[in-house]
């Protein structure tokens, strides 16, 4: 294999509505969304050790995908204490004590790029050294979404997936409170020296559990890189995080933070006003991923800002608009699917999951 990575082509599902606001019903709706895929057939099943009190699912990349070993676990514990999560500071999974928020209802996400060993995976998915089994790298868990009250309960969800990446998109209580989590081979590296043996960088981005409107009107123009919003990273376990596995290290300790740079705080001066380019193509701007040396203060100034990792694969800034819009070029070919903070308003800053082929 060699860089650049293969072009991505996305598939968007219908909207699925959980039967109730309970985590168990939200996960059932997520499973139903995965079951509806027809091209990029990611799968979701109950994970080992999940119970009615501690529901969780295991998500697996398509068998035909170049990343077919990639797994993720999405679930919610009902008690704090033994629940292990990834530290925002050093990005290794730990048996943490600062995790009391676990009882309030958010979903948590962990990823593992090297497969899943049923024989050695722990009995309870919330405990043990490695949720994916012996010898398998894992990220540890980051808060992925709130689901703890009427205003922050997930009421609609859908998927946008490619063969190598997966976005679980969702709406909280109203149509103007949308967000997404993104995972898989999500970063296109720079050269052979900064990628895995298969030329990929595996990671995840989560919006966290404290911001119930993570993609607001000015989401893409945050002045600093650690802002508490989708694709950002912040020094607190309950908020937005982005990260990739470090290909130069082994084991669970290899999960340094990276930041997806969204803008420079100039507001309308940088806004994209037209969907199409002069040649009929789609107006879309790559989103960068940068490594943070000091996650406790992840600013753009030295020595905290440590270097360029690459760009997010398939995720681009685009013109404002509603989530789930299908974007077409001048020949009416599907170029991708918009994601923004609203299902009904066109005034929200947006990205597109863009077909790169």
162 domain residue, yes or no: yes
Reference 164, options 317, 357, 34, 313; nearest CA is: 313
- What's the number of domains the chain is made of? 1
Does residue 308 come out as left (phi exceeding 0), alpha (psi in the -120 to 50 range) or beta?
Answer: beta
Going by C-beta distance under 8 Å and a sequence separation of 6 or more, which residues neighbour residue 274? 283, 319
Considering the entire predicted model, what is its pTM? 0.92
* 1 within a domain of the structure (yes/no): no
DSSP state of 8: P
In which residue are the tokens 């985590």 written? Answer: 23
In a domain, 98, yes or no: yes
| 176-207 confidence digits (pLDDT tens) | 999 999 999 999 998 888 899 999 999 999 99
Percent of the chain at pLDDT exceeding 90:
41
Q: Per the domain annotation, does 201 fall within a domain?
A: yes
Residue 340 inside a domain? The answer is: no
For residue 280, tell me if it sits in a domain.
yes
- Looking at residue 276, the DSSP 8-state letter turns out to be B
* Residue-level length of the chain: 357
| Per-residue pLDDT tens over the stretch 2-50 | 789 999 999 999 999 999 989 999 999 999 999 999 999 999 999 988 8
Nearest residue to 205 via CA among 224, 185, 222: 185
In a domain? residue 200: yes
Residue with tokens 């050790």: 49
Q: Is residue 66 part of a domain?
A: yes
Q: What is the domain range of residue 299?
A: 11-317
Going by C-alpha positions, the residue among 72, 83, 94 that lies closest to residue 126 is: 83
Is the pLDDT at 267 greater than 60? The verdict is no
pLDDT in tens, 157-184: 999 999 999 999 999 999 999 999 999 9
Between 82-91, 148-157, 211-220, the lowest mean confidence (pLDDT) is in 82-91
Cβ neighbourhood burial of 87 (10 Å; 0-12, 13-18, 19+): middle
């Amino acid at each position: 294999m060699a860089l650049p990575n293969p072009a991505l082509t996305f598939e968007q599902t219908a909207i699925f509505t959980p039967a109730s606001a309970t985590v168990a019903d939200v996960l059932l709706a997520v499973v139903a969304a995965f079951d509806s895929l027809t091209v990029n057939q990611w799968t979701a099943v109950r994970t080992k050790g999940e119970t009615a009190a501690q529901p969780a699912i295991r998500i697996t990349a398509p068998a035909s995908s170049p990343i077919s070993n990639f797994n993720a676990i999405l679930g919610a514990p009902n008690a704090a204490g033994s629940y292990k999560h990834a530290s925002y500071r050093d990005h290794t999974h730990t048996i943490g004590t600062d995790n009391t928020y676990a009882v309030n209802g958010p979903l948590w996400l962990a990823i593992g790029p090297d497969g899943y060993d049923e024989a050695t995976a722990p009995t309870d998915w919330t405990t043990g050294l490695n949720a994916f089994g012996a010898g398998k790298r894992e990220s540890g868990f980051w808060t992925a979404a709130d689901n703890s009250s009427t205003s922050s309960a997930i009421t609609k969800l859908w998927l946008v997936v490619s063969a190598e990446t997966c976005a679980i998109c969702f709406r909280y209580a109203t149509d103007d409170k949308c967000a997404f989590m993104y995972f898989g081979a999500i970063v296109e590296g720079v050269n052979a020296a900064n990628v895995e043996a298969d030329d990929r960088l595996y990671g995840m981005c989560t919006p966290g559990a404290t911001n119930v409107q993570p993609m607001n009107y000015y989401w893409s123009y945050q002045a600093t890189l650690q802002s508490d919003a989708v694709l950002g990273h912040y020094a607190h376990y309950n908020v937005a995080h982005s990260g990739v596995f470090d290909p130069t290290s082994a084991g669970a300790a290899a999960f340094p933070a990276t930041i997806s740079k969204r803008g420079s705080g100039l507001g309308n001066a940088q806004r994209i006003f037209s969907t199409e380019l002069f040649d009929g193509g789609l107006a879309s701007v790559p989103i960068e991923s940068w490594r943070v040396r000091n996650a406790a203060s992840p600013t753009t100034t030295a020595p905290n800002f440590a270097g360029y990792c690459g760009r997010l694969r398939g995720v681009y800034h685009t013109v404002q608009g509603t989530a789930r819009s299908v974007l077409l070029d001048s020949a009416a070919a599907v170029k991708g699917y918009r994601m923004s903070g609203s299902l009904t308003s066109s005034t929200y800053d947006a990205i597109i999951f863009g077909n790169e082929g």
